[in-house]
Amino acid sequence: MELVIAAVIGLLAGTHAATWGMYKDAPHEGFTVRRYSRSVIVGLVVGIGLQLLLRLDLTSAAAMVVFFGLCYVTERGIVEIYKTFLREEDQSKYFIPMQFHIGGKVVHSTPTRLLVGLAYTVIVLLALWGVHAVQNVDVGIPRIAMVLLIGSIGGWISAFGGAWKDAPIEGFETLKFFRSPAMTIFYSLVLSFLTDNYLMIALAALGYERATIETYKTFFFPNKPRGKFAGKPVHFPEMLTRRHRFVPLYVGIWLAVITTGILAFSGQRERVVSAGILAMAARPVLPSGAQ
C-alpha cells in the first residue's frame, strides 16, 4: 500500500511540473502528449524508486508532505540534467539556450557536455553526501541554525546555476538571485517540524521552492514569455486558451498538498485503511438485551 501511495505522490509531482511547463511553453512550441507525459512518467518512476530506497511511512501525513518535495526535486533534477547535458535539440528557437552553454554560446561537443554533466552530477552527489554526513555530528550549532544553513544549500545551487545560465544573456538580477535561497530557508524551517533528517529537509525544501517559484512565474504573469522564449514569436496561439483546461488539475494538486500539510501540522496521522474503522465495521451488532 505504501508503494502505491509513493507512486501516486510521484505521479502528482510529475504532473504538477509538466503542467506549468506546458502552460508556459505550449504557445511557442505546441503541445504533444509525449512532451507533457515526460515529467509525469519520470515522477511516477521517481516516486516508486525513492520509496524502495527510503522506506518511509507514507501513511503519515507528515511523511507525505516531505515525500512530495523529494519527488519534485528529484524529477526536476533528472529532467534538467537530461535537457542540459544529454538532449540534442535545435537551440535557435530559444532566446536562452537550454543545452549547456558558456556565455550564451552552446557547447556542441557531445563528449564535452557529457564530461561536464558527469562532473556536475558528482559535485551535487558529494554535496548531498556531506549533508547526510553531518546528521549525527555535533558541530556546536543550534539545531534551528543548522536546519536553516543546510536548507539554504539547495537554494544557493539553484541561484548560482540560474545566474550561470541566464545572467550572461539577460543580465544579473539581485532579487532573482537571492529569491531561491530565501525560499528554501523558509521551506526548510517548515519541513523541520515534519522530519529530523537534514538531507530530506534540504531536498524537499528545494522541491517546494521550485514548485512555488514556477507557480508564481507561470500563473501570476501568464502573458509574460519565459526567459528562454523572450522576444520569440507565438507559433501556436490556440494554446493560449487551450492551456486553461489544465488549470483545475494544477490547482487540485496544490489543494491536495496543502490539505495534507494542514493534517500533518494538526498532528493527525492519516492512514489509507484505518484499523479503527475496520474494527468498528467488523464488530457484530447485538440485539437489545442480548449482553
Q: Which residue has the higher pLDDT, 19 or 221?
A: 19
Cell of residue 231, nine digits: 522576444
Candidate from 88-92, 239-243, 247-251 with smallest mean pLDDT: 88-92
Mean pLDDT value across residues 55-82: 95
| The pLDDT value given to residue 272 | 38
Minimal CA–CA distance to 210: which of 52, 21, 7?
21
Residue 157 confidence (pLDDT) above 90: no
Q: Which residue has the higher pLDDT, 183 or 157?
A: 183
- Residue 81's SS3 state is helix
- The DSSP annotation for 37-96 comes to HHHHHHHHHHHHHHHHHH---TTSHHHHHHHHHHHHHHHHHHHHHIIIII----GGG-SS
Torsions phi, psi of 234, nearest 5? -90, 105
| The pLDDT value given to residue 168 | 67
What pLDDT, in 10s, does the model give residues 110-147?
A: 999 999 999 989 988 998 898 888 888 877 888 888 88
Residue 153 to residue 128: CA distance in whole angstroms? 10
Terminal Cα distance for the chain, rounded: 38
| The pLDDT value given to residue 280 | 36
The predicted model scores a pTM of: 0.86
Cell of residue 266, nine digits: 494538526
Q: Which amino acid is at 155?
A: G
Matching residue, cell 552530477: 121
Residue 275 to residue 291: CA distance in whole angstroms? 25
Residue 156 confidence (pLDDT) above 90: no
Contact between 154 and 203 under an 8 Å Cβ cutoff? The reply is yes
Domain ranges of the chain: 2-270
From the CB of residue 166, how many other CB atoms can be counted at a distance below 10 Å? 19
Q: Check residue 287 and report its DSSP letter.
A: P
Residue 254 confidence (pLDDT) above 80: yes
Instruction: Provide the Cα torsion 154, 157, 158, 159; round to 10°.
Output: 120
Torsions phi, psi of 143, nearest 5? -55, -45
Residue 285 confidence (pLDDT) above 60: no
What pLDDT, in 10s, does the model give residues 12-22?
A: 999 999 999 99
Enumerate the H helices of 82-193 as residue ranges: 110-133, 143-170, 174-191
Mean pLDDT value across residues 274-279: 34
What pLDDT, in 10s, does the model give residues 70-113?
A: 999 999 999 999 999 998 887 778 777 788 888 778 888 999 99
| The pLDDT value given to residue 270 | 43
Reported confidence tier of residue 53, pLDDT bands at 50, 70, 90: very high
Reported confidence tier of residue 208, pLDDT bands at 50, 70, 90: very high
Q: Check residue 87 and report its DSSP letter.
A: -
Residue 193 confidence (pLDDT) above 70: yes
Mean pLDDT of the chain, nearest integer: 85
Cell of residue 211, nine digits: 514548485
Instruction: Provide the Cα torsion 228, 101, 93, 159; round to 10°.
Output: -10
Express as a percent the part of the chain with pLDDT over 90.
54
For the chain, how long is the longest CA-to-CA vector?
Answer: 87
Buried residues in 84-109 as b, exposed as e (16+ CB within 10 A): bbeeeeeeeebbbbbbbbeeeeeeee
Mean pLDDT value across residues 229-236: 80
